[in-house]
Each structure stands twice: as structure tokens, then as C-alpha cells.
Amino acid sequence: MQPKLIIHGGAGNSLKGKGGLVDVRNSLQEIVRDVYDRLLQGENATDAVVRGCQLLEDEPRFNAGTGSVLQSDGQVRMSASLMDGTHQRFSGTINVSRLKNPIDLAKFLQTESDRVLSDFGASELLRELQIPIYNTLTDLRLKEWTEERKDNFQKKMAGVIAGSEEAGRGTIGVVALDRNGKLAAGTSTGGKGFERIGRVSDSAMPAGNYATAKAGVSCTGIGEDIIDECLAAKIVVRVTDGLSLAESMSRSIQECVANKRDLGAISLDATGAIAWGKTCGLLVAAYHNGQEIKDTLEWGEKETVGIDKG
């Protein structure tokens, strides 16, 4: 089967400045190229998703791994999850710190009996696995937090897309379909930024990351809005119930618009169809449809759902 791949680096309102647009496009396309080559060589969907998430986490312009935003107390706490669609198995970590790639912990937990760990438990596992301590803080995020501290954290979230003049909704995600027709999805985030200590995002929940043998979805945006819609699972369930991926995405995003949600989603199904949707101005996503790499960076602000049937 021809592999397919879609990734995202968050959502928001704009990427102002041509330099910012070009840099983000180059970053996304380089990652798509790397991961898609692995799929062509026979790598399975789950490993490809992990690789894609690692590369996105390592890119400081995105709010996950290196470059994650700071919470209200000045600490970085990250969440990530991985779902193997073939085995319909979900794993994840919530509010983990001092780790370069949170998706690695989610991958390890795929084969454990306890598959979702939070803060203290995740830290204990890091020590058990002897994973090196890593500082994900960047000068940009520290400056951002320091400036907002002067205003006593009046903003609801940090500006989480580098090159943007407005606040964005920061998460990274990958959905892959491999040569054997297997699907997987992964999602990782540093959170909203400036949030209350202990706040949990959608990224380590089936609401924000879900996959079965029929379809896979990764979400981005305001975590609370995604949780309220249970968006990723809703789209996948609709595909499982017989709707096309395009119709499932369209119906789900229309409901989000009616409920005044602020979010975006990327998806693949077992036929190779690719779909994405948003309720905000911009979805930072790129994909490989089996023939070429495309992205959504200049996709119309008023457009809500896109589809590539493959």
C-alpha cells in the first residue's frame, strides 16, 4: 500500500512575515520528507509517528519538547501520547519535565500494563530507565514568561508559534499510514503556557489523539475545547460507523464551529484519504499524499475542512 503521512505544529491566527512563513514551511517539509522516506523503506506506522514527533519536539519553534512554554510558576511540564491503531492501544505521559522527547516515554509505555503516567510517576520512570536529564527551556520562552509575569499573567496562553505576532495554539502531532495499511497517531505539547499548576491538556487523552484500524487523528488548539468535543475519538468513531473521513471531519468541525471552539485536527484513514480541519485562522500542517508534499500554511482563513483523497 502507498504510505501516507500528515503532521502539524499547532494552530493559531496568523504567521505574519514572509520569513516566518518560509522558515515554518521548510521545517515542516523537512520533517515530512524524513519520516515519509522511512515509511517507504518499510518502517511501521507507530515507529514513523514516534520519529515524526521526535523531530517536531526537537524544533524550538514548536511548543513541544525543546521550546515548550512555561507554566505560571515558571516550570516546563509536557504531555504526550501515542496510539497504535492496529492494536487500538493508547499510552501517554502527563506533565513530565526534564525530558527531551516526551513521545519516547509514551512509546515505552505502549507495552506496559500501566500505560498513562503523570508527573511524579513519570519522573520515577525516567530515573528507572536512566534517561538523561534534559533542559527544554529556550531564551524565547523564558523572555516570554518574564514579560508576562510583569502583567501578572493576564494572557490566557503564551504565543507559541515562533514568527507569529499573535498567540497561537501549540501542539505537535503526526498521523501515519504504513505500507501494510496500519495506522498510528501521536501528539505532544508543552501546554497553553501560564496555566495553573496541574492543568492537564487534551494531548495525553483520546480526546486529542486517537487511532484505530479505520482512522487516526491528532488535534491542536485549546485543550479544553478539544476535550469538550472529544474531537479525535469522535472523528474516528464516525469513520468506524461508516462515514467517509471527509464527512466525519466536516460534521465534527461544523459542530465545533457551532459550539464556538478554538481548535484544529489532522487525520488519515485506512484507504489513504487525508483530511484536516480548523475553526481558527491557521492550521500549521504539512502532508505527503504519496506523490508530493503539500501544506496548509496559506490555506484560506475562512475555510474549515480540507481533503486529499490520495
Which is the catalytic residue, given 66, 171, 189, 279? 171
Residue with the three cell numbers 499573535: 166
- In degrees to the nearest 10, what's the CA dihedral of 38, 44, 46, 48? 0
DSSP for 193-219? SSPPTT---STTSTTTEEE-SSEEEEE
Residue with the three cell numbers 464556538: 260
171 belongs to the catalytic site:
yes
Task: Give residues with Cβ within 8 angstroms of 30, minimum separation 6.
Answer: none
Can you tell me the distance from the alpha carbon of 200 to that of 77, in angstroms, rounded to the nearest whole number?
A: 10
Q: Which residue numbers are catalytic?
A: 171
